A and B are shown apart, each in its own frame.
Chain A
Amino acid sequence: MSTIVTDTHSAHDAHDHHDHHPKGIKRWLFTTNHKDIGTMYLWFSLIMFFVGGSMALMIRAELFQPGMQIVDPHFFNQMTTMHGVIMVFGAVMPAFVGLANWMIPMMIGAPDMALPRMNNWSFWILPFAFLIMLSSFFMPGGAPAFGWTFYAPLSTTYSTDSTALFVFSMHIMGMSSIMGAINVIVTIMNMRAPGMSYMKMPLFVWTWFITAFLLIAVMPVLAGVVTMVLTDKYFGTAFFDAAGGGDPVLFQHLFWFFGHPEVYIMILPSFGIVSAIIPAFARKPLFGYASMVYATAAIAGLSFLVWAHHMFTTGMPTFASLFFMYMTMLIAVPTGVKVFNWVSTMWRGAMTFETPMLFSLAFVVLFTIGGFSGIMLAITPVDYQYHDTYFVVAHFHYVLVSGAVFSIMAAAYYWLPKWSGVMYDTFLSKLHFWCSLISVNILFFPMHFVGLAGMPRRIPDYALQFADINAIVSVGGFLFGFSQLIFLAVCIKCALKKGEPAPAKPWEGAEGLEWTVPSPAPYHTFDVPPVIK
């Protein structure tokens, strides 16, 4: 066949081919399709969100009243640990990878991810990793109980045997993340359609490009540090033991060298999502596209130089504390650029308030609150007061729940019509938004006050003066938790195709290649590269 004949031919039988895909369970087990894999990632992360969420509710039930009522302290510690691990590695990260899988190839005009088989491998590792992690609940001594940060010597000298399973499941989770990140970065570098230059890429693609770089840079460090925990506990090494010449603080340095870029891994894609949604519903192009790109890169670069702000109370020399304090406060500059740009995008825009926009607006406001408490925590002398209190819990839940999770919800509502071909249930989605918005603030805002008053985190009991606020927080927690069942209902309705058929471009002001293809997006989006003007 000559080239020309093939071209007309493929344009003609594009229709026959598009929805032709393998049927049944094999479609999902052996797939190489970025949309199938993205869907599996998203459902997996939703399941893990409920698993981790039910652990959070266990914590809030125990903390509803002072004194010990429901669980014993060791089980409480298992709950705080596994809640953190599951939400970070099982819910938020896979959700972003799922979004990346679905959207990046469509946004850059690629047929699929660059390495589709490895893509499927990265996904299928996750269920096994979390089965292993959760199986440790049934071991003697129970699941890991040292906090998701697994500080030595809690995870070495004083941990139960579940540590070994924790370490190895972390290893394979890390492999999954690294492979996922390599796939994203190679897709973006190599699979862009002709004319799609770097500075024309949608910001979601840009933020994921930088996120993927962070993942490849720091997940191996996590692998290294869990390996040292394993050898310290089982093979007699003394990396984190002063008696052998090591130092428990070394653990914290290594962990947070991974951990701080990790928290940006969980927020940069959010920035990309919000930067797609706000212009769409403000009906104005994004204000300051280039500055958004540079701000994202600056945040990522700085993230490697701030890790010890988690460690101000470990007795570092003053000059080190000061260095990390100033570097941390510097991050407020590029982050401020972003918030400014989002607000400027809305300035004099023709705004409407569909559900994705509502979640994005809530993101901007509530994430900024989390950012402000972050600046407070960055100040070394006052951190001596805030360290390890509920103030810290309030801070990172504002950026992670009303930040990252809200942006994922916004993304889900924004792209559900494209994924499923039907519009989501508007009433349920608005109900979900308002219930979530109100309850998330009842849940996390009062934590600031008990934290400032000195209530420590990760302790199953507390002094009587914290009782009222803790009761309010717990009520907020249960309201927030059960509100998410509304989201589940919306997702299931869309998956069952119950709803108005969605047009190719359901949002008037939306921009981007993903809206040029029909809804639901065909199984293979682009057979030949689209040309970008």
Chain B
Amino acid sequence: MSTENHNPQKYYVPDQSIWPLVGAIALGLIAFGAGHYTIEWSKQEAGFGHYFLGAGLLVMVVMLVGWFGDQIRESRAGLYNEQLGRSYKQGMSWFIFSEVMFFMAFFGALFYARMIAVPWLGGASNNEMTGQILWPGFEAIWPLTTTPDGTTTQAMGWFGLPLINTVILVISSVTLHFAHVGLEEGKRQKLKVWLLITIALGLIFLGLQGYEYVHAYRDLGLTLDSGIYGNTFFMLTGFHGLHVTLGAIMMIVMAGRVFAGHFTKNDQFAFQATAWYWHFVDVVWLCLFVFVYVL
């Protein structure tokens, strides 16, 4: 069917593909392996989980290369039409919306802990007895540096590294926009330079974030398991960092395609989707900076 799609009136229905099934197998292996590996890791036992996890990740990489490779080839061959382009854009927008909701779950946990759980443990609202009998001497403050069971930690300040990282990420959004303008104007050199600068900024952000984690673990005693403050801090910044990593990988792939001469003003969905994703990650960071670091 795909060969007869020169008629713009006609719908495009893609050929059969092996990759969805490969992707499902990959996810199955990853889920099974990650589950068993988590159990074995927590018990310090030897087991088979990591083999499945490794195999799954490998199959996943093969799938991504294969599937995206097919897409790129078909797109370059001019098989796609305007309608499919719209479907891709809408699909990506809804995917980003689902990511927003994923972060909402963790922000929700943060707000609930700060506004409700911790004050109530300290006796607020109708919980006078909880404070007096269950957790006497517990002081409800945020950042929660001493948990009800007495674990202590230090809070991460916002000045310094986090502020620098915020500036870096905001600038990277602007430079990516310049790259996009370059693409729109057909100025390939401008596109290449700004895209590479954006990637560099993203990688610097990740490096500094890693450095901040080392600082937190080594100097502040702020760890994933040091109470609800550490939990929300590392889960939110950690998942954000994961998204930055993914975004950086996507941009590196885009850079490869740009240097191979792909993308024009009218054929740039992958680049656009990557840019949307990067801006989304940037916005999440701004929320993070305000609610996790500053306030």
Contacts and interface: CB of A to CB of B under 8 A. Distances in A.
Interface of A: 1, 3, 6-7, 10, 17, 22, 26, 29-32, 110-112, 114-121, 124-125, 127-129, 131-132, 135, 161, 164-165, 167-169, 171-172, 175, 178, 181-183, 185-187, 189-191, 216-221, 223-225, 227-228, 230-231, 234-239, 242-247, 249-250, 253-254, 257, 315, 317, 524, 526-529
A93 to B, nearest CB: 16
A120 B18 CA distance: 10
Nearest to B18: A30
14 contacts: A7-B9, A32-B13, A128-B27, A129-B28, A165-B36, A190-B90, A216-B101, A217-B97, A218-B101, A220-B101, A231-B224, A242-B134, A244-B149, A528-B10
Given A117-B17, A129-B31, A10 B24 contact: no
A244 B228 contact: yes
A245 B224 contact: no
Contacts of A315: 126
Interface in B176-229: 224-225, 227-229
B136 interface: no
Lowest 3 A-B CB distances belong to which pairs? A224-B105, A236-B225, A128-B28
B35 A165 contact: yes
A231 to B, nearest CB: 7
Interface of B: 1, 4, 6-7, 9-11, 13-21, 23-25, 27-28, 30-32, 34-36, 38-39, 41-42, 67, 83-84, 86-88, 90-91, 94-95, 97-99, 101-102, 104-106, 108-109, 112-113, 116-118, 120-121, 125-126, 134-135, 144, 147-149, 151, 224-225, 227-231, 235
Residue of A6, A118, A183, A238 ringed by the most chain B CB atoms within 10 A: A238
Contacts of B41: 234
A125 B13 contact: no
Given A117-B19, A238-B228, A244-B151, A223 B105 contact: yes
B224 A235 contact: yes
A254 B108 contact: yes
A252 to B, nearest CB: 11
Contacts of B117: 242, 245-247, 249-250
Contacts of A127: 24
Given A168-B31, A191-B83, A112 B13 contact: yes
Contacts of A116: 13-14
Instruction: Name the prevailing secondary structure of the B interface residues.
Output: helix
Contacts of B109: 224, 228, 239, 250, 254
A326 B137 CA distance: 38
Nearest to B15: A32
Given A164-B36, A190-B90, A238-B231, A247 B113 contact: yes
Instruction: Name the prevailing secondary structure of the A interface residues.
Output: helix
A239 B231 contact: yes
Contacts of B144: 245
A242 B224 CA distance: 16
A219 B24 contact: no
B87 A3 contact: no
Contact of B112 (A26, A167, A217, A247): A247
Given A32-B17, A224-B105, A246-B228, A172 B94 contact: no
Given A216-B98, A217-B101, 17 more contacts: A6-B6, A32-B16, A125-B27, A128-B24, A165-B32, A168-B32, A171-B31, A172-B27, A172-B30, A178-B95, A182-B95, A186-B94, A190-B83, A243-B148, A244-B231, A246-B117, A524-B1
A242 B121 CA distance: 8
A136 B104 CA distance: 30
Given A30-B16, A528-B9, A242 B148 contact: yes
Residue of A17, A31, A243, A246 ringed by the most chain B CB atoms within 10 A: A246
B38 A220 contact: no
Nearest to A230: B38
B32 A237 contact: no
Nearest to B17: A117
A163 B67 CA distance: 32
Contacts of A218: 101
A168 B52 CA distance: 13
Given A7-B9, A245-B227, A186 B87 contact: yes
B35 A238 contact: no
A168 B34 contact: yes
B11 A245 contact: no
Given A186-B91, A223-B105, A237 B9 contact: no
Nearest to B138: A245
A135 B32 contact: yes
Contacts of A528: 9-11
A317 B10 CA distance: 59
B105 A225 contact: yes
Given A182-B95, A244-B228, A254 B121 contact: no
B104 A221 contact: yes
Contacts of B151: 244
Residue of B95, B101, B230 ringed by the most chain A CB atoms within 10 A: B101
Nearest to B114: A245
B83 to A, nearest CB: 7
B93 to A, nearest CB: 9
Contacts of A529: 9, 11
A235 B42 CA distance: 8
Contacts of A172: 27-28, 30-31
Given A224-B106, A244-B227, A245-B227, A125 B101 contact: no
A26 B20 CA distance: 13
B178 to A, nearest CB: 30
Residue of A185, A239, A254 ringed by the most chain B CB atoms within 10 A: A239
Contacts of B231: 231, 237-239, 244, 246
